[in-house]
Chains A and B, each alone.
Chain A
Amino acid sequence: KQEVTQIPAALSVPEGENLVLNCSFTDSAIYNLQWFRQDPGKGLTSLLLIQSSQREQTSGRLNASLDKSSGRSTLYIAASQPGDSATYLCAVRGGANSKLTFGKGITLSVRP
């Protein structure tokens, strides 16, 4: 059974800092991995999707990497801003027809 872990559960950083959010998964046989952002009381916003054949994806100040063999993904946020404060969730799809397995998320607070 796939398990997705995100540590730490919460993170507080000063504005402007570059930061890395980690995600680990137990079964390396994944189809793809997706990073989401969730603001309090809201739905999930898709940030980046990485296919199993890819090593990284970039969107603006965000860069996500994938190392399937070690069961890890990282989300890099450059020059963090207070508006980046949210919960970031990592989700793994195990096969072409399988459901997403979510981590519990990392709650990020960027201090002005």
Chain B
Amino acid sequence: SAVISQKPSRDICQRGTSLTIQCQVDSQVTMMFWYRQQPGQSLTLIATANQGSEATYESGFVIDKFPISRPNLTFSTLTVSNMSPEDSSIYLCSAVRDFGYEQYFGPGTRLTVT
């Protein structure tokens, strides 16, 4: 199994600012992902964080708004840029050692934009 930690666990931010969320996995993993979960909704995949290269974004998400880094096999960051109240969500980091194995999730970062 993999244990995933995220920082911060929650934050309240002003409109127009940016927040960087950190994700740390306790073991090397092949794939890391970032999801968004809006209130009362299921999970939406933002992007796949690729080690050493640019992230792969899902439709509707762009690098300028959600820049992602993955400098090594256990760490990734997601930045939510130029925030608006519509960005208020839980942001979840996820990882999988290989696609034949279980995918694990971090505890989430609850973001409120005022």
A→B interface (CB under 8 Å): 31-32, 34, 36, 41-46, 49, 51, 89, 91, 93, 96-100, 102-105
Contacts and interface: CB of A to CB of B under 8 A. Distances in A.
Contacts of A31: 99-100
B102 A42 contact: no
Contact of B106 (A43, A97, A103): A43
A79 to B, nearest CB: 25
B92 interface: yes
Given A43-B108, A89-B42, A105-B42, A100 B103 contact: yes
Q: Determine which residue in A44, A46, A103 has the highest number of CB atoms from chain B within 10 A of its CB, and name it.
A: A44
Contact of A49 (B42, B102, B105): B102
7 contacts: A31-B100, A44-B94, A46-B104, A89-B43, A97-B99, A99-B33, A100-B45
A98 B45 CA distance: 12
B110 A41 contact: yes
Interface in B78-114: 90, 92, 94, 99-108, 110
Closest 7 CB pairs of A and B: A44-B105, A43-B107, A43-B105, A104-B42, A43-B108, A46-B102, A49-B102
B106 A34 contact: no
Contacts of B108: 41-43
B48 interface: yes
A44 to B, nearest CB: 4
A61 to B, nearest CB: 19
Contacts of A104: 41-42
Nearest to A91: B103
Contacts of B106: 43
A34 B105 CA distance: 12
Contact of B100 (A41, A43, A51): A51
A46 B2 CA distance: 11
A51 B99 CA distance: 10
Nearest to B44: A102
